[in-house]
């Protein structure tokens, strides 16, 4: 078991009607004027934004607005937000949306609290020294940004998608009302559920002594999200199923399912982020498209974990099978599940067909972010990343 630091400072307010508390929570966090960030308009259409603004008014927190955060959120909007927030004298960021909105708010919060170009932090040229406080009203169970230390931004000029991971950006509070997720398109619900599971799987397939308690939490989370994702395919208005996956979204990416493990593998995420940068695909679907190829490629380096996963999560009957056969059955069960919820299992099904040159470009981008290679299930380098992309094509 590895030593670890667990830090989850976000206050979680969970349940129906929670968005009405946004004002009082922001005021308690010291907000006098908030920049309310949102996406392409779902929160306008659903009325959530109006309820949040009314709650800010009631609590005496002034506000300005910044809409337009897109999936794979763009750096240009971050710059625009920093300028607007400076002009408006904002001292708090309130994200009303999903990972793309929250990550935009975090990036603006870095930009306001530090000198120089905020993109430097994403290029790892500098480390942020401060961050304005961020609060969240979550509208999709997916990225886990509502409790994570991470912000992922795409630079549309250079086609780079990069993350900045720093505890300074962990949100002060996260309001999670499962009802708000009922307006999601089915595809986005499925993408979200895939990403939630992947955040735990990235931490599960690691080497070097794992922690029994962490494994138990991880396996329970994976079974719970699987079961409720299937319920949501048939019954998207099932409150309890929405609630289960919404809390799982946070628990899966706030560090809990990594305690005592080897820091996480995160190769699938690295491979997907380049696909998001070049083809603007939905993050969860991109993960589903590469995971099976990654898993088959690294399986022999981490066989005991794949066997445990197959048996404890997917109920694979181990009798009469070799470890390789058990592990493969677990991978196949995962892919069957992806198909059932409408997710792709390769890039063609995702709707992209990268050429060899484009694959080389994505490999180079993975190496730029990970000059010493990446991975814990199996440590991989450029040729391995290329092979996995080719398998997933």
Residues contributing to the site for ligand NZQ (CB under 6 A): 39-43, 71-73, 97-101, 103, 139-140, 142-145, 148, 150-152, 180-181, 183-184, 188, 192, 195, 253, 269, 276, 283
Q: Is 272 in the site for Zn ion (CB under 5 A)?
A: no
Task: State the minimum distance, in angstroms, from the CB of residue 144 to Zn ion.
Answer: 7
> Helices marked H in the chain — which ranges?
22-28, 42-46, 48-58, 75-88, 99-113, 119-122, 186-204, 212-234, 239-253, 267-279, 283-298, 303-314, 323-340, 347-350, 356-369, 382-392
At 96 the three-state DSSP class reads strand
At 149 the three-state DSSP class reads coil
Residue 292 interacting entry, from Zn ion, ligand NZQ, none, C-beta within 5 to 8 Å by type: none
Q: Which CB sits closer to ligand NZQ, 277 or 329? A: 277
Q: Which CB sits closer to ligand NZQ, 148 or 257? A: 148
Residue of 139, 137, 87 lying closest to 108 (CA atoms): 87
d(CA 247, CA 266): 21
Contact set for Zn ion, span 167-206 (CB under 5 A): 195
Q: Which CB sits closer to ligand NZQ, 178 or 292? A: 178
Task: State the minimum distance, in angstroms, from the CB of residue 73 to ligand NZQ.
Answer: 6
Residue 214 interacting entry, from Zn ion, ligand NZQ, none, C-beta within 5 to 8 Å by type: none
Q: Which CB sits closer to ligand NZQ, 141 or 310? A: 141
173-176 and 134-138 as β-strands: parallel, antiparallel, unpaired? parallel
Task: State the minimum distance, in angstroms, from the CB of residue 284 to ligand NZQ.
Answer: 6
Sequence-separated (6 or more) residues with CB below 8 Å from residue 356: none
Q: Which CB sits closer to Zn ion, 34 or 288? A: 288
Residue 155 interacting entry, from Zn ion, ligand NZQ, none, C-beta within 5 to 8 Å by type: none
Residue bearing tokens 């996963």: 309
Instruction: Give the number of C-alpha atoms closer than 13 A to the C-alpha of residue 230, restricted to the C-beta side.
Output: 11
Q: Which CB sits closer to ligand NZQ, 214 or 274? A: 274
318: tokens are 């181990």
Task: State the minimum distance, in angstroms, from the CB of residue 115 to ligand NZQ.
Answer: 24
Q: Which CB sits closer to Zn ion, 160 or 195? A: 195
Task: State the minimum distance, in angstroms, from the CB of residue 194 to ligand NZQ.
Answer: 9
Q: Which CB sits closer to Zn ion, 195 or 384? A: 195
Burial 153-162 (b: 16+ CB within 10 A, else e): bbbbeeebbb
Residue 97 interacting entry, from ligand NZQ, Zn ion, none, C-beta within 5 to 8 Å by type: ligand NZQ
Q: How many residues bind Zn ion (CB under 5 A)?
A: 1
d(CA 259, CA 246): 21
Task: State the minimum distance, in angstroms, from the CB of residue 321 to Zn ion.
Answer: 31
Residue positions counted in the chain: 393
Task: State the minimum distance, in angstroms, from the CB of residue 137 to ligand NZQ.
Answer: 10
Q: Are 295 and 331 in contact (CB under 8 A)?
A: yes
Task: State the minimum distance, in angstroms, from the CB of residue 318 to Zn ion.
Answer: 30
d(CA 4, CA 149): 15
Residue 374 interacting entry, from Zn ion, ligand NZQ, none, C-beta within 5 to 8 Å by type: none
Residues near Zn ion, by CB under 5 A: 195
């Amino acid at each position: 078991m590895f030593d670890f630091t667990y830090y989850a400072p976000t206050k979680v307010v969970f349940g129906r009607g929670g968005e009405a508390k946004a004002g009082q929570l922001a005021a308690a966090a010291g907000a006098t004027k908030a920049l309310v960030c949102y996406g392409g308009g779902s929160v306008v259409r659903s009325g959530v934004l109006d309820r949040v603004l009314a709650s800010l008014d009631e609590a005496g927190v002034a506000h300005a607005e910044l809409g337009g955060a897109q999936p794979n959120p763009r750096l240009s909007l971050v710059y625009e937000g920093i300028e607007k927030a400076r002009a408006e004298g904002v001292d708090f960021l309130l994200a009303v949306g999903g990972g793309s909105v929250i990550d935009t708010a975090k990036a603006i919060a870095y930009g306001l609290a530090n000198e120089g170009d905020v993109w430097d932090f994403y290029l790892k040229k500098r480390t942020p020294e401060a961050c304005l406080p961020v609060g969240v009203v979550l509208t999709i169970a997916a990225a886990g940004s509502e409790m994570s230390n991470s912000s992922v931004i795409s630079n549309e000029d250079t086609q780079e998608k990069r993350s900045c991971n720093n505890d300074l950006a962990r949100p002060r509070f996260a309001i999670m009302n499962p009802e708000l997720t009922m307006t999601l398109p089915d595809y986005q619900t499925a993408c979200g559920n895939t990403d939630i599971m992947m955040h735990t799987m990235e931490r599960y397939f690691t080497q070097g002594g794992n922690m029994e308690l962490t494994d138990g939490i991880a396996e329970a989370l994976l079974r719970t999200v699987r079961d409720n994702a299937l319920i949501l395919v048939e019954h998207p208005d099932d409150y309890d199923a929405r609630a289960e996956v919404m809390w799982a979204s946070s628990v899966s990416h706030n560090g809990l399912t990594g305690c005592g493990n080897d820091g996480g593998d995160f190769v699938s995420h690295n491979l997907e982020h380049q696909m998001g940068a070049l083809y603007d695909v939905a993050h969860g679907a991109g993960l589903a498209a590469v995971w099976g190829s990654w898993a088959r490629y690294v399986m022999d380096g981490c066989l005991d974990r794949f066997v445990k996963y197959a048996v404890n999560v997917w109920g694979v009957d181990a009798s009469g099978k070799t470890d390789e056969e058990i592990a493969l059955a677990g991978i196949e069960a995962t892919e069957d599940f992806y198909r059932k919820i409408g997710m792709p299992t390769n890039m063609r099904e995702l709707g992209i067909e990268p050429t060899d040159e484009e694959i080389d470009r994505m490999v180079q981008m993975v190496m730029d972010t990970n000059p010493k290679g990446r991975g814990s299930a199996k440590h991989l380098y450029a040729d391995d990343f290329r092979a996995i992309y080719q398998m997933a094509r």
